[in-house]
Structure 1
């Protein structure tokens, strides 16, 4: 008699699969259409299996939110590690390709949650502060002549971040007026003094 071994399930892989499918549903239909049933049907899984990996829809949404922020941070970190110019590194934070556009769409979709849900808000603030630290490291890496005053440094980093967010929001909502070239031109105009920092 042939014994059939139970199939070994990679739980981390299954969780990533569910998150990926949920993220695609969010991008195609919006947050209001993101339901456990729809995710289960798309993944060809039962709702019970989805519930095994995530306690409820809110936990799943938080996981998507954090995963998206990690993707964006990773892109920026890789550009810095590759020793790209300051502006090239900053451009990784803009919606210049399909992955980064999707990241911004997901992030924007969750903005209301960051206003109404304490954990979402705390995560958003923490990730923003981490991005500001990365921007600071980028500027310091290039020996950019900056004030030694910590308050002035903080203002400069927050100004850079605010400009990036402003460009990205315009590019997501009005992509025809804000193609990649336009985003780059505005960024270069704002941070033209970084142009000589290409490594």
Structure 2
């Protein structure tokens, strides 16, 4: 009887392996041979699922974004209306979140010159802004808003957090969890205040 192979699971596993390689060794370390070695598959199996390195990288990029979104959804479900809790899952003091950020930053250079990677990056940024906007809007509902602009607040918050998480991903010793969480709370407060009209 032939062995049943779950092709989607194999592709997913390869994407996860590629993320680990990128986070520890960089984009240039991703080769079919390296991916096969790290995943336990033969180079023939990896080549069967992917036409080349670019396709493997694109899958990894998309998978990383999906994984982060799932963490965020779980965080919001656990603490609805809590902006800090809804963002905390993305901070790079969580091992998986740190790997994700190292992967995303590695891909920024590719996104500049590659229309497909650029489109994925643009969608990811917009989805993140919409997520923050929804969190901030929900958090402000019971309060007098004074003309609160959630779009403006979300953009400010994202810009502020992006700088912090990149620093924290590459220099975790300078950015322990307590410092990241304190910065997050301060950034949320500043974003809300900047978006309130007098």
Structure-1-length-normalised TM-score: 0.86
Instruction: Provide closer, same or farther for how the CA distance between residues 48 and 145 of structure 1 changes in structure 2, counting only shifts above 3 A.
Output: farther
Structure 1 vs Structure 2 CA RMSD: 1.9
Instruction: Report the number of matched residues.
Output: 188
Q: Does 1:137 align with 2:154?
A: no
Post-superposition CA distance 1:147-172 (Å, at most 9, x none): 657xx432211111111111101111
CA distance in 2 between counterparts of 1:130 and 1:158 reads 11
Question: Whose RCO is larger (CA < 8 A, sep 6+)?
Answer: 1
Larger Rg: 1
Q: Which runs of 5+ in 2 are unaligned?
A: 193-198
Post-superposition CA distance 1:102-147 (Å, at most 9, x none): 1111111111111111111111111111111111111122215546
Report what 1:21 is aligned to.
17
Structure-2-length-normalised TM-score: 0.87
CA distance in 2 between counterparts of 1:58 and 1:65 reads 10
8 Å contact kept, 1:93–1:164: no
Residue 127 of structure 1, aligned match among 107, 124, 127: 124
Moved more, 99-108 or 168-177: 168-177
Q: Which runs of 5+ in 1 are unaligned?
A: 195-199
CA distance in 2 between counterparts of 1:92 and 1:187 reads 11
8 Å contact kept, 1:62–1:120: yes
Report what 1:167 is aligned to.
164
